[in-house]
């Protein structure tokens, strides 16, 4: 599929708007502060880093509370209803701040407002929201913000689009050694429960040269962990010369000490070749997040997932045979329309068979405009809640023991900071993407250390630095 790249002209225009906003806010009697928050997935967080990058270039500083902010920006998620409800609640809570400070600019963007009915509701219910913009015009944020400052009129910009790729936007990264790099955008899978293809447009990949030069640049700057992002990374480069395994090979050939991880992999397209590339690599994380969604072939069909449990279990078995220390994680939806108790039992069976290191579990949330939203959904919420708790219990018991296999191993750990629960310990991530806590001094921050694992917890490992 041809890439719809945002033209250099257009990007130049936006840089001009950055300078214009800069000039407007320059006359404020204080340095203007932005409070920004991104909900949802890593892809959205990565978009948030670009929005922050544009704000920084416009001259904004940042604050961690809306209370003293001159601009509040919520970058929203639409994947489940509770994520949307949280945004409605948080935007509602800004009312009194806007009354106190009418000059405050309030903006809402991202997946949730890309849905027309939500944008309308947001616009009507919160007249003090100044700017609402969708996923396809992220790069136009400077222009949109400038028009708010210039005209003082509300702006809604949510064009329908198959999606674009905007290269070279400024990025304000949250970490100085961990960086996210989107490699593709959008999704063509149309899982029947999922709103993502509707709000993020069609699959489009960045050119391999752009990805490789960005990653190379980050490593030269000292970044140690590169997270490649896409709704379905296995579809990277479809129709082109460089597919996902090949992209990984090329990135793995870069010299230096760093780890490359990626998400998310679709079991339909995850191949033995991909697993072989991971197994034979120098830098690629030994972590495979492979969302199964359900253990019932009947439900997988209704979900339009294009694989069955046999294929899935074959992938798991192959991954474990090639990469003994691999961490396997998954996503599971409970209570998909029409799911019966015996379907759910099959999900429990699959969980017990695979023994995931951890699982992200969700109760099905009806998303307007999806195929599943039209399906019969007779199982009452209480019943779904019961199944959900059962699933948590089963995974809880598996998770208790899941990390035991790492005890006695020496893992190379990227040291990231002080532990949240015990500030005396340093904490980091192993190549398997598992949290590892150990005793050490701050000089180790941002570097790799070998840690001998002495103890496993359900969510982390504990060990000692090997001298
Ligand atoms: N309801 C519940 N969970 C969902 N997910 C995606 N759409 C829905 C929905 N409508 C889950 C899937 C996906 C993860 C990111 O969110 O498990 O893998
Ligand atoms: Fe949420 Fe999906 Fe959008 Fe990510 S892509 S922010 S998970 S709706």
**Distance, CA of 248 to CA of 140 (rounded, Å):** 31
Q: Which two tokens stand for residue 165?
A: 């790729």
- Nearest CA among 40, 10, 43 for reference residue 184: 43
Q: Quote the pLDDT of residue 161.
A: 92
Pair 409, 453: CB distance under 8 Å: yes
Q: What is the pLDDT along the chain (467 residues), one digit of tens a residue?
A: 556 899 999 999 999 999 999 999 999 999 999 999 999 999 999 999 999 999 999 999 999 999 999 999 999 999 999 999 999 999 999 999 999 999 999 999 999 999 999 999 999 999 999 999 999 999 999 999 999 999 999 999 999 999 999 999 999 998 999 999 999 999 999 999 999 999 999 999 999 999 999 999 999 999 999 999 999 999 999 989 999 999 999 999 999 999 999 999 999 999 999 999 999 999 999 999 999 999 999 999 999 999 999 999 999 999 999 999 999 999 999 999 999 999 999 999 999 999 999 999 999 999 999 999 999 999 999 999 999 999 999 999 999 999 999 999 999 999 999 987 777 899 999 999 999 999 999 999 999 999 999 999 999 999 999 98
Query: Strand 184-185 and strand 410-418: pairing?
Result: unpaired
Nearest CA to ligand 1 atom 2: 364
175-285 matches 4-164 in CATH topology: no
**Residues across the chain:** 467
Distance 195 CA to ligand 1 centre (A): 9
The CA-CA-CA angle for residues 456, 462, 466, to 5°, reads 130
CATH number belonging to domain 289-402:
3.30.750.200
**Distance, CA of 62 to CA of 47 (rounded, Å):** 17
77 in ligand 2 pocket by Cβ < 6 Å? yes
What are the φ/ψ torsions at residue 120 (nearest 5 degrees)?
Answer: -60, -45
Pair 413, 429: CB distance under 8 Å: yes
**Distance, CA of 36 to CA of 47 (rounded, Å):** 11
Nearest CA to ligand 1 atom 16: 79
Task: Tell the CATH topology of 175-285.
Answer: Transcription Regulator spoIIAA (3.30.750)
Q: Which two tokens stand for residue 313?
A: 């279990």
Domain 406-465 maps to which CATH number in 3.40.50.720, 3.40.50.300, 2.40.160.100, 2.40.50.140? 2.40.50.140
Task: Tell the CATH topology of 4-164.
Answer: Rossmann fold (3.40.50)
Ligand nearest to the CA of 84: 2
CB proximity list for 124: less than 8 A, separation 6 or greater: none
**Distance, CA of 333 to CA of 67 (rounded, Å):** 37
Alpha-helical segments (H) within 323-452? 341-354, 381-402
Partners of 201 in the β-ladder: none
What are the φ/ψ torsions at residue 406 (nearest 5 degrees)?
Answer: -90, -10
Pocket of ligand 1 (CB under 6 A): 79-80, 193-194, 291, 293, 331, 333, 362, 364-365, 367
Question: pTM of the full predicted structure?
Answer: 0.95
Alpha-helical segments (H) within 59-109? 81-92, 95-100
Q: How far apart are the first and last CA of the chain?
A: 52
The residues spanned by each domain of the chain are: 4-164, 175-285, 289-402, 406-465
- Tokens 């598992």 correspond to what residue? 434
- Tokens 């990264």 correspond to what residue? 173
**Cβ neighbours of 32 (radius 10 Å):** 20
Nearest CA to ligand 2 atom 5: 196
**Distance, CA of 171 to CA of 47 (rounded, Å):** 9
196 in ligand 2 pocket by Cβ < 6 Å? yes
**Cβ neighbours of 153 (radius 10 Å):** 8
Ligand 2 pocket: which of 187, 198, 200 to mutate (most atoms within 8 A of CB): 200
Distance 229 CA to ligand 2 centre (A): 12
């Amino acid at each position: 599929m041809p890439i719809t790249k945002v033209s250099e002209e257009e990007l130049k225009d936006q840089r001009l708007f950055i300078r214009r906003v800069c000039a407007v806010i320059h006359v404020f009697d204080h340095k203007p502060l932005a409070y920004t928050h991104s909900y949802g997935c890593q892809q959205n967080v990565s978009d948030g880093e670009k929005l922050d990058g544009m704000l920084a270039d416009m001259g904004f500083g940042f604050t961690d509370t809306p209370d003293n902010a001159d601009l509040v920006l919520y970058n929203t998620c639409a994947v489940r209803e509770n994520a949307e409800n949280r945004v409605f609640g948080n935007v509602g809570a800004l009312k009194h701040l806007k009354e106190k400070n009418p000059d405050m600019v309030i903006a809402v963007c991202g997946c949730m407002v890309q849905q027309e009915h939500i944008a309308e509701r947001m616009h009507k219910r919160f007249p003090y929201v100044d700017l609402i913009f969708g996923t396809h015009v992220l790069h136009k944020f400077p222009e949109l913000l400038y028009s708010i400052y210039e005209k003082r009129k509300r702006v809604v910009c949510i064009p329908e689009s198959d999606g674009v790729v905007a290269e070279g936007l400024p990025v304000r990264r949250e970490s100085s050694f961990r960086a996210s790099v989107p490699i593709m955008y959008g999704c063509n899978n149309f899982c029947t429960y999922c709103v993502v293809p509707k709000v993020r447009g069609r699959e489009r990949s960045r050119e391999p040269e752009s990805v490789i030069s960005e990653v190379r640049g980050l490593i030269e700057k000292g970044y140690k962990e590169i997270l490649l992002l896409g709704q379905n990374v296995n579809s990277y480069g479809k129709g082109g010369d460089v597919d996902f395994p090949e992209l990984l090979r090329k990135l793995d050939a870069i010299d230096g000490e760093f780890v490359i991880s990626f998400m998310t992999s679709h079991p339909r397209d995850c191949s033995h070749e991909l697993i072989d590339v991971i197994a034979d690599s120098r830098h690629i994380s030994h972590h495979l997040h492979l969302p199964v969604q359900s253990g019932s072939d009947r439900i997988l069909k209704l979900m339009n997932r294009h694989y069955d449990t046999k294929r899935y279990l074959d992938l798991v078995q192959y991954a474990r045979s090639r990469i003994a220390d691999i961490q396997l994680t998954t996503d599971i939806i409970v209570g998909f329309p029409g799911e019966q108790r015996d379907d759910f039992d099959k999900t429990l069976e699959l969980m017990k068979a695979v023994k995931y290191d951890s699982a992200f579990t969700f109760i099905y949330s009806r998303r307007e405009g999806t195929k599943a939203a039209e399906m019969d959904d007779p199982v009452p919420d209480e019943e779904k809640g019961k199944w959900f708790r059962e699933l948590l219990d089963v995974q809880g018991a598996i998770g208790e023991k899941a990390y035991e296999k790492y005890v006695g191993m020496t893992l190379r750990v990227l040291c990231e900071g002080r532990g949240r629960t015990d500030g005396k310990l340093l904490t980091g991530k192993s190549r398997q993407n598992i949290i590892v806590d150990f005793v050490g001094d701050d000089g180790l921050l941002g570097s790799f250390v070998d840690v001998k694992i002495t103890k496993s917890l359900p969510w982390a490992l504990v060990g000692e630095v090997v001298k």
